[in-house]
Amino acid sequence: MKNNIKIVALAFATMAITACDKFMDVNVNPNAPVDVPVDQKLPNALVKTVHLETGALNQLGAVWTGYWAKATDGPGVTSLFRLEETYGVEAMSFDRDGRPIWEDSYTTLVNYKDIETQATESGDLAYAGISKIMQGWHFMRLVDLYDNVPFSEALRGGKYATPRYEDGQTVYEGSINLITEGIQNIKEAPDLSKKPGADDVMFKGNLTLWIKFANTVKLRALLRQSELGNTAYITSELAKIEQEGSGFLGAGESALVNPGYQVTAGLQNPFWETFYKNPVGALTSGYNTLRPTEFVVAQYQNRLDPRLAKLYKPVGTTYKGVPLGQVSGSDYTMSKTSALLGPGENGNQPAGLLKSAQQPSVLLSSFESLFLQAEAAERGWLPGAKEKYEAAIKESFIYLGVGAAEFTVYNALPAVNYTLAPNKIERIIEQKWLALNSISSIEAWNDFRRLGYPTGMPQSLQSPSPDPSFRPKRLTYRQSEVYTNREEVAKQGQIDPFQNGVFWDK
């Protein structure tokens, strides 16, 4: 079995950073199920999930939340995230130039639904539970991007050829219920039933961590609704989490996926292979083009943040970014701006984002979990806001390779210290934004839409409007969906992606 798992996992590691490659795809037609054991289907689905998150979604968030710009003479300056920096939301909906986030999400959801069906029939409830948790993850992510989406009638094979759309809040609540059911399935799994082991490329069969992960995803979903005033619902769901008793992901408990990355073409960690080196050690066009924005560099510098030196390569004795959307100018060439820092620029030691070609991909980090808990605590939902805030920064330091002794000095700064913060929610989100840089950028964009932090976020110079408030608030439905489910899409009305936010964006 070990060899089979490795072969399947490595096949799926060939998916590119945009998660478009379908090599050795095991997508399941629910009308003609393939007789593949659930322990071989699970790693495929988990790899698809994390490659969508760290690829297309990370790129989308990194541009729209002010992390990524481009060197003006980089080899990818005309193509790398062109649609994102021009706010080309409508173009993203077309198959030729677009981003198949919708299609990849529903394809992966079908895979998890097939695992659920097969595992339920065989009594392997741990697999059924994991599949429900991950379905909840993907449905909520679709709402984050598109608002109303097919939910109850989705994933039903040929029964509903044109599944009806449900409003975003209903889908969120249904997804939270799915995750709650998944937790219960895991806890009720019979001792003699099949349980994940090496095929679980995220937690290696640790079901306690799966439950903590599920609770953390639910907490994130509740915080997403923090501005809606639905206090009774949030209180009720928090009570369920407390009653369950496992808590959330804590220090040292990140959800990391590694299917067996290798220093081989198509089998390396996809972020490394896109934004650092190919298997023979040559720097990629992505590496030579990608640069931090002036804004993100300034935010680290203003706080004397030691993470800056772990993320980027200095230019002489300083760090220099590029204005978001800058496409010309001799001051922003490759040689005059800071590239990502990798082992080759760090004394052959792992750097912050670029550690090795075999590094795991991050689905949900310990520091994101702790920042979620800190915000929930500051809102009075949990205890210990200050402690969780400081623990989150420490975990970010550990991940990026900053020495533990530097935390005390950093935490004493007025721009960092929790006690000294005039607006503690803003302070939490600022530090969360600094920690999620290029790791889970889509979550930083979600926070920005929800709360407006960090303030001063730059608008792209390639924006089609001079209005500084003009920026995308959501995506529009893909043309593939318009063609196949036209009446349901039409029911959603005319959508302006720069005016109409998703349900939780108030």
pLDDT of res. 20: 33
Separation in Å, CA 304 to CA 225, 291, 308, 440:
33, 20, 8, 23
pLDDT at 268: 97
For every residue of 122-135, DSSP letters joined together read: HT-HHHHHHHHHHH
Closest CA to 358 of 438, 231, 261: 261
Quick one: pLDDT at residue 191? Answer: 87
The tokens of 133 are what?
């948790």
Residues of the chain with pLDDT under 50: 1-33
Query: Angle at the Cα of 217 (from 212 to 223), degrees rounded to 5?
Result: 125
pLDDT in tens, 441-454: 999 999 999 999 99
What is the tens place of the pLDDT at every residue in 231-245? 999 999 999 999 999
What pLDDT is stored for residue 34 in this prediction? 52
pTM score, whole prediction: 0.93
Q: Determine the Cα–Cα distance for residues 104 and 210; give it in Å rounded to an integer.
A: 23
Whether residue 111 contacts residue 137, with contact meaning beta carbons closer than 8 Å, is answered with no
The pLDDT score that the predictor gives to residue 157 is 83
CA distances from 156 to 102, 139, 160, 174 (A): 17, 15, 6, 16
Residue 422: DSSP 8-state: S
The DSSP secondary-structure symbol of 298 reads H
Which of helix, strand or coil describes residue 149? strand
Q: Which residue has the tokens 């501005």?
A: 227
Q: Which residue has the tokens 């730059």?
A: 458
Q: E strands within 218-273? A: 255-257
